[in-house]
Amino acid sequence: MSVELPFAPVDSIIRRHADGLRVSADATTELAGRIQFHGAQLAVNAAERANRDGRKTLMAEDFDVHEPPAKNDLTLPIAPVDRIARLEIENRYLVSMDARVALASVLETYADDVAAGAVILARHADRRTITDRDVETYFQLVSPE
C-alpha cells in the first residue's frame, strides 16, 4: 500500500512539536504510514456505523466529530485524506465533505499526539534528531502488542 499523504504536511506537524530538534525524513515517512493505516481503520468503523444506520454516506458523526473545524484550520490536506478514507471501504459508500474534514481533524490530532511523544523520546535518548525509531517506540509504549 502506497502512502497517500504528502510529505510536507506530516513534516510540519512533527516540526510544530520539535522545539529545535531536527526531523529525519524516515520519521516523517513512518508517521505518514501510521496516519494512513489509522485513517483507513477509522473509515472502516465509520462505514460500519453508516451501514447499521442504513446509510451509504459517511458523515462527520461517524468519526465522532459533531462540529468539524474549518478546512483552512487543518494542516493535513483533504484530498489525500479522502483517498485514505476509501482505501479499505467498499466503493458503494460516499464520504461527505464534513466527514473528510472530520477525519482530517481526527488524524491531525492523532499525528500531534504521536509527534509530541516522539519528541519526548528523542530528548530522553539525548538526540538532536527525531527518527523513525522514536515514532515506532511511541507506538510500542502506547499500545504494546
**Quick one: DSSP state of residue 144?**
-
Using one digit for the tens of pLDDT, what is the confidence trace for 59-99?
999 999 999 999 999 999 999 999 999 999 988 899 999 99
| Mean pLDDT, rounded, for 13-32 | 97
- The domain spans of the chain are 7-142
Instruction: Note the pTM of the prediction, 2 decimals.
Output: 0.94
Distances (CA, A) of 101 to 22, 55, 115, 140: 29, 19, 21, 29
**Quick one: DSSP state of residue 94?**
E
Q: What is the CA radius of gyration of the chain?
A: 16
Environment class of residue 119 by beta-carbon count within 10 Å: exposed (0-12), middle (13-18) or buried (19+)? buried
The pLDDT of residue 37 is above 80: yes
The sign of the torsion formed by the CA atoms of 138, 45, 40, 62 equals: negative
* CATH, domain range 7-142: 1.10.20.10
**Residue 74, number of CB atoms within 10 A of its CB:** 17
